Structure 1
């Protein structure tokens, strides 16, 4: 639901409605859309608004598409091709379904469904009382054990690690699916949208803060063993660090997936650009280079899709582990009375 809320209300213009002479619109191709591309054509998505009209009355309206919203007379397209209320109204909250949101749901939903399917087999004793059966269960167990042992338990206290495995595994699988969906020619890369990656990073941020121990917060605000005047410098830095970590987490995933998508579209687009400038013969000649390089990039992007999912889960585990860790204060000059107070507490 959080990802459904987008007050920006901006979508890439429909290519069918564009008449600006552009041979290739890279950013328009990768941007969020109010329609879903399929091998059989476009499926326009619902537009849902909580908005205020010129008279100051608030309304909650649902339209089957952008076109139906315009036909209703309550909305219009402005000069920048953005849907806005007619007159002097304003959109308070935009809950419209978008292409990136659809693939976010598909990625996360697929991760949950596959996990439930595997759980059903384990409840029957397959993989618990006897060895796992089938390629699906073996691959699932390989990935789950990898996340549990190499990501969670390696970076979070051994007594607390297992309770974070479900979250880390969901992030790893969900992001992997969203990244891989972007390799399909008609699909969208949800993780190439900063809204998506920022939301995922926000969840990690909240889990990290709620997992923080007394020691963790002491090292943010108190700094045991540090002179008082130094705290004036360190405290703002540590508070800023609480927010820069999830910010870096969001931007890293977003930038890597966006750049890969842009690169593939741009290289394939050379065929159309050369055809438009120099004719069909030049386009065919360039297509040999473009297609071969794109095949290599697809293989690289598939690896990056897995790698970025791993990095996101790994850094999430690192941040959570740092917050959930209990520090040894005697190494930082804690006096014995402070240690005694903490033990009694």
Structure 2
């Protein structure tokens, strides 16, 4: 939130708009804003990249807008949206602007990607240097149980003997989502996984992997389900075809909704202090310990949710990939062998039903 809004709220608590605060917290921004101290914002400005067919390319830092107080190069910022203006300050409807800026969601995503690559490369170097027979140390000791967990609880049960082919992808999305989930819990940082565009891209990538893993048996069941009356097939075929796209869409919505909901709940509890304070100062002070206690509780829950949502997205992706290439007889035979050897893991279809709950 900009200085202008913060000062207005500080001057008159009754002006506090909880909905505005919540939306500005979960939406993207052109800076990392941490706090306002004595009317001065503590923030890190980010590069603004604007292209207009009428005005050309402009590159500058978001600090030039002075948190919405100033105009720069014929542009102004309102509620973190950059708008072209005329010399008189009015909105210029004749100018089309494409905002290609490095917002905090984009920057944080690159930071998470950089951190993921650095950590995993260092772990791989240790394995290459010491081999698998040397006890892991440092960060390698923390990562190895997670990797084996994803392999044994996600890859092998859902993908069978083909699990090694998909482990690089499964591990990448697990750690990438996890790192972004944890970053989102740091005050001032962005909730990247609470952005529908981010989860949409992950879902599209998973859909591509799923489609490239299909075989003739899979498409045969989609367009001509066996053992089904003809009239039922006319209804079932479009449903099965839509299911190809509904499954990744469910991944997208599940991750987005769960991550954004926790942040909204936390901000709601904090906002209650200001809402009660607007009604009565004593009520605001008295409710503060209750609000903070619930906030800390939800925050701890969110740390757990960060791990759970990364696991669920990865696991369901593996389930859908397994359903794409498994065959009727091979699947039953593979499951029978697993049971015979004492493997209690359910089938890919059973896993999907379990996590759908």
Which category of TM-score, normalised to the shorter sequence, fits these structures?
0.7 to 0.9
Identify the match of residue 210 of structure 2 among 204, 208, 211: 208
Q: How many residues align structurally?
A: 307
2:144 matched to 1:141? yes
Post-superposition CA distance 1:110-163 (Å, at most 9, x none): 22221111001000024x1322223x21221100011111111111132x2112
Q: Is the 8 A contact 1:110 1:174 kept in 2?
A: no
Superposed CA RMSD: 2.6
Aligned equivalent of 2:127: 122
1:37 match: secondary structure? strand
Q: Is the 8 A contact 2:34 2:43 kept in 1?
A: yes
More helix by proportion, 1 or 2? 2
| Separation in 2, partners of 1:327, 1:29 | 48
Q: Is the 8 A contact 2:16 2:275 kept in 1?
A: no
Aligned equivalent of 2:298: 297
1:84 match: secondary structure? strand
2:28 match: secondary structure? coil
Rate the CA distance shift 1:238–1:287 in 2: closer, same or farther, 3 A: same
Rate the CA distance shift 1:203–1:218 in 2: closer, same or farther, 3 A: same
Range moving further from structure 2, 168-177 or 310-319 = 168-177
| Separation in 2, partners of 1:330, 1:66 | 59
2:314 matched to 1:313? yes
* Structure 1 position 270, deviation (Å): 1.7
Aligned equivalent of 1:37: 33
2:328 match: secondary structure? coil
Q: Is the 8 A contact 1:272 1:283 kept in 2?
A: yes
User: Structure 2-normalised TM-score?
Assistant: 0.78
| Separation in 1, partners of 2:119, 2:214 | 31
2:278 matched to 1:282? no
| Separation in 2, partners of 1:66, 1:221 | 56
| Separation in 2, partners of 1:36, 1:303 | 25
| Separation in 1, partners of 2:325, 2:52 | 43
Post-superposition CA distance 1:211-238 (Å, at most 9, x none): 1122222222233455554433222112
Identify the match of residue 156 of structure 1 among 155, 159, 170: 159
Question: Runs of 5+ in structure 1 lacking a partner?
Answer: 1-13, 332-345
User: Structure 1-normalised TM-score?
Assistant: 0.81
| Separation in 2, partners of 1:119, 1:100 | 28
Q: Is the 8 A contact 1:224 1:329 kept in 2?
A: no
Question: Runs of 5+ in structure 2 lacking a partner?
Answer: 10-14, 36-40, 85-91, 333-357
Rate the CA distance shift 1:156–1:300 in 2: closer, same or farther, 3 A: same
